[in-house]
Structure 1
């Protein structure tokens, strides 16, 4: 007896509001987790092309972390359409001026492009500070796994396995040169 695949309809799925605190989280890891929740891929009734995701509120966008030297080296470019109208700003300048835009663009660039992705844009709210205006929706706090990917304070000098491989003599190659 063949099984039938469940396909969700538009009115069957109830939207739940979720809240994510971006303080100390890496921008890319945060964006992938929020994009997954927006699209609904965390739900068992996920159906492509149907708005089965949750609405997401992101707070503390100003305290998001960029690893390495990306704050100064990575740039954001805008072009007005006129000759000489190219505006180039570093991510440090962008976070100082409008951190919510930087976080929301990172999230929305990870959802499908097109009609479906544009409809997900209305379900995302990003705030630079710790407070938000959607307390009446009673958002459920979700913990993103990016908090578990903290960078170590200092690198270990050498592990036990690395110490053994450095001291072991190198074996001669069994291949013959042609």
Structure 2
């Protein structure tokens, strides 16, 4: 085998490190996207019995956004294995205890039927904020685009941007707001 082919084969099977910003993203939609990278489904050499997935670093997991009333209505089940060890925890309670757990459970459940999902989950690195160890960030070579764009808050616009924004209507000087 020539040296060029060896390098090409090495690059094909190498594990790439990706970073994903979960700020204001739905964890259930994000989990379907992250699953593709963790299992290697984005690679042309993918096969269900082939372990060719990549590493994914998820940042800002404490700022995820659940749709509608999901914070109050979604329940997570846990059983210790002992009699009477069943517990049901609401999503907001679980998120306040551990801000990485909601997205971790979403990714784990999205890989249902995958026989190697316990080993695949070891390549998922979740952090509640942007503080990631330097030795992990050195490996990152790709950024996964978020599903929805993060809107800019109104209090983050400068005074000049607010003044330069085009007006639809100018209210008369004697107009009274009720």
What TM-score results when the alignment is normalised by the length of structure 1? 0.70
Q: In the TM superposition, what are the counterparts of 1:14-163 in structure 2 within 5 Å? A: 14-113=14-113, 115-133=115-133, 134-144=136-146, 146-147=147-148
2:74–2:90 CA contact under 8 A, matched in 1 = yes
Cα offset, 1:88, TM superposition: 2.1
Normalized per residue, which structure has more helix?
2
Cα offset, 1:49, TM superposition: 1.2
CA-atom RMSD in angstroms: 2.4
Q: What residue ranges of structure 2 are gaps of 5+ in the alignment?
A: 1-8, 152-178
2:62–2:100 CA contact under 8 A, matched in 1 = yes
| Structure 1, 24-33 or 48-57: larger mean CA deviation | 48-57
Alignment partner of 2:20: what SS? Answer: strand
1:10–1:51 CA contact under 8 A, matched in 2 = no
Q: What residue ranges of structure 1 are gaps of 5+ in the alignment?
A: 1-8, 151-178
CA 1:130–1:49: 2 relative to 1, 3 Å: same
Matches of 1:108 and 1:132, distance apart in 2: 22
Alignment partner of 2:125: what SS? Answer: strand
Matches of 1:11 and 1:44, distance apart in 2: 12
Listed one character per residue, the Cα deviations across residues 26-68 of structure 1 (whole Å, up to 9, x for unaligned) are: 1111000000111111112212211222110001111111101
CA 1:13–1:77: 2 relative to 1, 3 Å: same
The count of corresponding residues between Structure 1 and Structure 2 is: 141
1:10–1:50 CA contact under 8 A, matched in 2 = no
Matches of 1:84 and 1:20, distance apart in 2: 38
What TM-score results when the alignment is normalised by the length of structure 2? 0.70
Matches of 1:77 and 1:121, distance apart in 2: 19
Cα offset, 1:149, TM superposition: 10
